[in-house]
Amino acid sequence: MPEPLELPAYARSLGVTLTGESEGGMPVLTVDFGPMVEGRPQHFHGGATAGLLENAGYAALRTALIAAGRDPMLKPINITVQYLAAGKSQASFAVGRITRLGRRNANVTVEAWQSDRARPIATAVMNILMV
């Protein structure tokens, strides 16, 4: 029986949760707007957006690994975040996509959006080492 997906302490304390929805088989994560994620007034802090993206990236990779019956320790190699539009004072969503799942390395692409799925506010590419 596959273990349920669990978000790390950092995700939980930032208020990042699983929506229960999925896209391409990968979980969609969300975070509400509030003081914990606010940068300049009424906007998401870039770091909070990155935190949502990163958590969605890990959640996608964990989902793919659970499906493959693997449970390695994950170590971040790098992340590049592109900010496309200001994150406004409303909920943000993010979902990851596994671009390549290798034996030791995974390349994951993540998108974040707000009210319109077709207009991403930020994207990220992550390389994650699996040991």
Decide whether 20 or 78 has the Cβ nearer to another protein. 78
- Least separation in angstroms between residue 5's CB and another protein is 12
Question: Distance between terminal CA atoms of the chain?
Answer: 22
The structure tokens listed for 10 are: 């950092």
Q: CA 44, CA 58: separation in Å to the nearest integer?
A: 21
- Least separation in angstroms between residue 77's CB and another protein is 6
Site residues (vs another protein, CB under 8 A):
6, 8-14, 35-40, 45-48, 50-51, 54-55, 73-83, 86
Decide whether 25 or 75 has the Cβ nearer to another protein. 75
Kindly write down the DSSP assignment for every residue of 55-121, as one continuous string. HHHHHHHHHHHHHTT--PPEEEEEEEEEE-S--BSS-EEEEEEEEEE-SSEEEEEEEEESS-TTSEE
Q: Which residues pair with 129 in a beta bridge?
A: 75, 105
Decide whether 86 or 101 has the Cβ nearer to another protein. 86
DSSP conformation class of 3: P
- Least separation in angstroms between residue 94's CB and another protein is 12
- Least separation in angstroms between residue 95's CB and another protein is 17
Decide whether 25 or 85 has the Cβ nearer to another protein. 85
